[in-house]
A and B are shown apart, each in its own frame.
Chain A
């Protein structure tokens, strides 16, 4: 019978197994060395009575245990690695959130500045204020919803790509570039929006715009907070359920 499967490459299989575990911050290189040593002993022992190498590899990895269960136990003895990893992701999260927030503000202020211009020409300050408030609140919420949706889709759709990128050990330079970009883009964007709105709104008609924007943004921020609380609770619940 012709076989299409290529011969089993033990070195490569062990390397892949090791890389799979390495994705978790719970393991230090020395832990992986020891687990690999164990796996090799186990495979050597299983092939002695005549088991094929690929079968021995399969059984040996099963006996060592799955990455999730092992990661949980190793995490208890390597809390530093686990927490450093969490801190990194918290910082990344802060930057992403900052970027999202700046974008929402830029869009809101830009749109409100543009939208209020024709109303300002009518000369009624209080109606311009109300209009700016409603417009900024609405645009802010809309932009926030879109940002959330994009973020959500990015995480759920591209998560495999992100994991693969992280697993393939991004080069120092590409990692540095990503970090610099994450830290530089939000302040740059904020500055850009400041310049933009000073250009759109002449100093003499600034008052209703600022007051309206202030009310609109404050209202939108409250809704935003509630949505974020809800999202956090949902994710926490999901994680708890996944653990049971």
Chain B
């Protein structure tokens, strides 16, 4: 399980990244993140929607209601140009953190790597 603060900070980059795979709806988005993280990233599912709406207001993503194969209506989200740009920035920042920590945690003896 991830710390609460880290879950909150990683929601936007996770959403943006999942949406690069194509448009999707909230439930499927959550399932995708759960699957990719091996169940380690667990959201309070309803909390995703205010984030999605905020991202929509910021014009990072856009949405529309459409009928799904099952006949029920679902709200589908997809990336916008500003979202792709924001993702590049997020990526840069997360990679910086990741690389720095990775270097620090690298075992001193090459044989161990």
Contact surface of A with B, Cβ cutoff 8 Å: 31, 33-35, 37-38, 40-42, 44-45, 63-65, 69-70, 73-74, 76-77
Contacts and interface: CB of A to CB of B under 8 A. Distances in A.
A44 B73 CA distance: 14
Nearest to B70: A44
Contacts of B57: 77
Interface stretch (B45-53, B79-87, B101-109): B45-53
B13 interface: no
In the A-B complex, the 10 residue pairs with the smallest Cβ-Cβ separation, listed nearest first, are A41-B27, A65-B46, A65-B44, A64-B46, A73-B50, A70-B46, A77-B53, A38-B27, A77-B50, A63-B45
A31 B49 contact: yes
Given A37-B74, A38-B27, A65 B45 contact: yes
5 contacts: A34-B26, A42-B45, A64-B44, A65-B45, A77-B50
Contacts, number: 57
Q: Which of B25, B28, B31, B47 has the most CB of A within 10 A?
A: B47
Interface residues of B, number: 20
Given A70-B46, A77-B50, 17 more contacts: A33-B65, A34-B26, A35-B46, A38-B46, A41-B74, A42-B27, A44-B70, A64-B44, A64-B45, A64-B46, A65-B45, A65-B46, A69-B44, A73-B47, A74-B49, A77-B54, A77-B57
B12 to A, nearest CB: 14
B27 A35 contact: no
A202 to B, nearest CB: 67
Contact of A76 (B26, B50, B74): B50
B79 to A, nearest CB: 19
B49 A37 contact: no
B72 interface: yes
Contacts of A37: 25-27, 72-75
B44 A34 contact: no
Contacts of B46: 35, 38, 64-65, 69-70, 73
A38 B44 contact: no
